[in-house]
Structure 1
Amino acid sequence: MSPGAVTPAAPAGSSGPLVASTAPVVSSGPPARDSVSPGRGGGGPGRAPSLLDVGTEHDPHAFYRTLRTRFPLVYDERSDAWLISRYADVRGALADPRLVVPPSGRTLVHREGGTHSAHRALVSPAFRGAALAALTAGVERTAYVLARRIAAREEADLVAEFCHWLPTAAVVGALGLPYEDTARVHAWCRSGLDHLGGHHPELEVFLRPYIARRRAHPGADLLSALCTARTDGRRLSDEAVAGLAGTLLGAGGETTARALGSFLANLLDHPGQLAVIRTRPTLTQGAWAESLRRDPPLHIVERRALAPVGVIPEGATVACLLGSAGRDPARFADPDRYDAFRADPGDLAYGSGRHFCPGPLLAALTAEHGLHALMSVAPALRWVPGFRPVPEGPVSPSPRALRVLLH
């Protein structure tokens, strides 16, 4: 985890509430005295563990259990961040207007107040009506093209040959960019773009002529919708359009690729549940939501405090531990178990509150049509005997490979 830019003054032994009583809640209640003490990673029985402790990356869920039970809000000196681990607290933190995405930038999730709402409103109409139908058809078509490329083979790695390509191709299609540029955009998604969009100069240079063409001759694609939209009577700047496109590519690209890999791994681990979904495809979205709960594509989402939030000082970095919140037994029964038919799997994997990005719709379409395409060409889809997926790492613990038999 990257250190925060500001070192907060951690109040050792503070026993005050997490948030002021008149403010939007971040915690479901005041913590125990030691739950807000500074963590010093193994410094003694009363000290909280640290994100940077040796072994945390190998078993993050044991670390999360300790935090939820004894240190629901704790300052971790080694990572220079306040850690929030319980579901109710994480959900509250993500919705709190005093906690913003660091650092300040121009992508959709970095915009605050009315500016953020206005820009988000510009993206939303593109996911309705004819544009949504075109996007859905494009995702479905791309999924079947990729699935058929591996259908004749006996064995495949779904991460390298399916998961990493499908989300990028889907977003490229949504923006109305040439399909032949998918490989180049895919490389940018893996080297500078993430679920927050990020900054990639080559992408901006690439987009400029397309933005100019959409300004002059708009179509029905998402890039045209951004180019023709107006805020307070004025069009978005080219820079803003490129930033929003980067947000969509990041959210619908690498992050979704990771989530798709975990989704397929969970279903391959539960062939009985996969068989039910094969006969009842309407259950796919619930199975997808459950995978996001249990294995989110990112376990840590950072926020920066614009003002004091209870004992959290202004300027502090707050680490919302999605990987912990999704397995909080106070919110979910038997939380470590994958249950594709769970009634209420929650919705934290892509954030919540004002910073809820447009990526989830793209991701859900990708998961639904990707799974259906694979099941149609490989109804006997299953693990290669003896294979077990290995996670990439604790922050993005999606599988590195998914070796499967197709027949």
Structure 2
Amino acid sequence: MTEAMDARLPRFVLDDPEFLRDPYPVYRELRARGPLCRGGPAQWVVTRHAEVSALLRDRRLGREFPEEFQKLSVGPGPAVDFLRRIVIDRDPEEHTRLRRLLTRALNPPLVRSLAEPITAMTDHLLERAVTDGALDAVRDLAQPLPVLVMSTLLGIPVEDRAAVMERSIDVSKAFAVFIPEAERAAAHAAVVWLRDYFRGLLRRRRAAPGDDLLTAIATAREGDWRLSEEEAVDNALFVYYAGFETTTNLIATGCAALARHPGEQARLRADPSLLPAALEEFLRWDAPIHTTTRITLEPVEVGGRTLRRGRVVVLLLASANHDERCFTAPDRLDVGRRPNPHLSFGGGVHHCLGAMLARVEGTAVFGRLLERFGEIEPAGPEDWQPSGGGFRFPYCAYRSVPLRVR
């Protein structure tokens, strides 16, 4: 069946505020009608686990969008060039080269060595909650911890961290499917500022190497491969941003899930060995990244329809994570769920570069929360905001998750 015969397919609509706040009922309806639905012009949306999982690994789909597409989304300017240089938006063989060099820098021994420092950072951030008996999971933990981790990892001086984070939030707009005209200038200006800042740091590291991730990125080598200064700057900026955006959402949604499900919280306290499984369940339950996009490099058949070359394919990771065909009782939080083949870190060659770091941070956070507090309960309604861009776009993200702790 060809694309032209799609009139009966449902359409994936993004302009309903209630959908943005809780898209899961809509996902359920879309999955019930099939694995494929229509999006915008020349855009298809995939809803079910089997199809999303397969397409994540299908080399007939790529991440390297044409420059004209990115200019349409972001508007002409420096952010377009930034998007075309970072590892997440390159296809093999350039993706292979960039990923190997970045993996050499952000290597497993380095990430494992961070477990103890991250636990200490978490304890420091929880001190006030011990005294007050209250905690805002977003303001007091989910936002500051990943920024602190990435700033420490990259060797960003303490006095510069607030400015770097502020500009990085503006850069997040560049990852949206479409940026409103009024927000484009801020994204482009933030790319210029952050490039200048990271270029200065990088040059200082090349002159006087340290033991931080930025030095490792600047000096990464594999055979004849190395990163140019422009590649090192843009990918260091991307690693910084990706390292706090996704983990912030993981901590916020995980804390909300713990507080809302006292039975599962008690189960986890009674058996701490379930913590690794619980972390995977938080990732599945409300994915930090709801969607990822691809472009068809050649015709691909999905759900009995052939998608032509050059079509944008939106893979609904969060919908796939709740697919009844793959998960038993998918709408129930189960901290001992096994197996748990969630797709929150993507798959294939573009599997999340920072997945191991996110797991180390999540383990530290939820482990310390459960050890230090005998009860974690909601202390009021959660506050949401449209993310305005970034990996969770166009969904709402938590602005506040008030908790009562004892």
> Which moves more between the two structures, 197-206 or 154-163?
197-206
User: What are the residue-to-residue correspondences of 1:73-222 with 2, within 5 Å?
Assistant: 73-76=36-39, 78=40, 80-101=42-63, 102=65, 103=70, 105-128=84-107, 131-193=110-172, 200-222=191-213
- C-alpha distance in 1 between matches for 2:278 and 2:138: 19
Deviations 1:19-42 (Å, cap 9, x if unpaired)? xxxxxxxxxxxxxxxxxx14xxxx
Which of the residues 377, 380, 391 maps onto 1:382?
A: 377
Any stretches of 5+ residues in structure 2 without a counterpart? 71-82, 177-186, 387-392
**How many angstroms does 1:225 deviate by?**
1.4
> Which moves more between the two structures, 373-382 or 221-230?
373-382
Letter in 1 for 2:156: L
- C-alpha distance in 1 between matches for 2:343 and 2:230: 29
Q: Does 1:247 align with 2:238?
A: yes
Which of the residues 6, 9, 12 maps onto 1:50?
A: 12
3-state SS of the aligned residue for 1:57? helix
What's the counterpart of residue 274 of structure 2? Answer: 283
3-state SS of the aligned residue for 1:74? strand
- C-alpha distance in 2 between matches for 1:276 and 1:195: 41
Q: Is the 8 A contact 1:194 1:247 kept in 2?
A: no
Letter in 2 for 1:264: C
Q: Is the 8 A contact 2:12 2:45 kept in 1?
A: no
**How many angstroms does 1:127 deviate by?**
4.2
Letter in 2 for 1:301: T
> Which moves more between the two structures, 114-123 or 339-348?
114-123
What's the counterpart of residue 11 of structure 1? Answer: 3
Letter in 2 for 1:403: P
Deviations 1:232-255 (Å, cap 9, x if unpaired)? 425311211122212222221122
- C-alpha distance in 2 between matches for 1:379 and 1:276: 13
Q: Is the 8 A contact 1:107 1:196 kept in 2?
A: no
User: What are the residue-to-residue correspondences of 1:189-338 with 2, within 5 Å?
Assistant: 189-193=168-172, 200-278=191-269, 280-310=271-301, 311-338=306-333
- C-alpha distance in 2 between matches for 1:337 and 1:98: 35
Deviations 1:1-50 (Å, cap 9, x if unpaired)? xxxxxxxxx7232xxxxxxxxxxxxxxxxxxxxxxx14xxxxxxx45133
> Which moves more between the two structures, 303-312 or 392-401?
392-401
The 1:75/1:47 distance shift into structure 2, 3 A limit, reads closer
3-state SS of the aligned residue for 2:278? helix
**How many angstroms does 1:369 deviate by?**
1.1
Q: Does 1:62 align with 2:53?
A: no
Q: Is the 8 A contact 1:195 1:250 kept in 2?
A: no
Q: Is the 8 A contact 2:122 2:145 kept in 1?
A: yes
Letter in 2 for 1:168: V
TM-score (normalizing by structure 1): 0.81
The 1:162/1:129 distance shift into structure 2, 3 A limit, reads closer
Instruction: Could you list the structure 1 runs, at least 4 aligned residues long, displaced by more than 4 angstroms after superposition.
Output: 127-130, 194-199
- C-alpha distance in 2 between matches for 1:130 and 1:50: 42
TM-score (normalizing by structure 2): 0.82
Point out which structure has higher relative CO (alpha carbons under 8 A, 6+ apart).
2
Q: Is the 8 A contact 2:287 2:318 kept in 1?
A: yes
**How many angstroms does 1:130 deviate by?**
5.2
Q: Is the 8 A contact 2:284 2:344 kept in 1?
A: yes
> Which moves more between the two structures, 122-131 or 83-92?
122-131
Deviations 1:106-165 (Å, cap 9, x if unpaired)? 111112112212221222234446523442233222212211143311323211121111
The 1:286/1:132 distance shift into structure 2, 3 A limit, reads same
**How many angstroms does 1:379 deviate by?**
3.0
Q: Is the 8 A contact 1:49 1:63 kept in 2?
A: no
What's the counterpart of residue 352 of structure 1? Answer: 347
3-state SS of the aligned residue for 1:375? helix
The 1:59/1:224 distance shift into structure 2, 3 A limit, reads closer
> Which moves more between the two structures, 304-313 or 329-338?
304-313
Q: Does 1:401 align with 2:400?
A: yes
Q: Is the 8 A contact 2:44 2:313 kept in 1?
A: yes
Any stretches of 5+ residues in structure 1 without a counterpart? 1-9, 14-36, 39-45
- C-alpha distance in 1 between matches for 2:286 and 2:382: 13
**How many angstroms does 1:229 deviate by?**
1.2
Q: Greater share of helix residues, 1 or 2?
A: 2
Deviations 1:33-90 (Å, cap 9, x if unpaired)? xxxx14xxxxxxx4513324645435522322222122312333x4652010010111
3-state SS of the aligned residue for 1:11? coil
Q: Is the 8 A contact 1:109 1:196 kept in 2?
A: no
Q: Is the 8 A contact 1:90 1:325 kept in 2?
A: yes
- C-alpha distance in 1 between matches for 2:112 and 2:14: 45
The 1:163/1:59 distance shift into structure 2, 3 A limit, reads closer
The 1:315/1:298 distance shift into structure 2, 3 A limit, reads same
What percent identity do the matched residue pairs reach?
A: 30
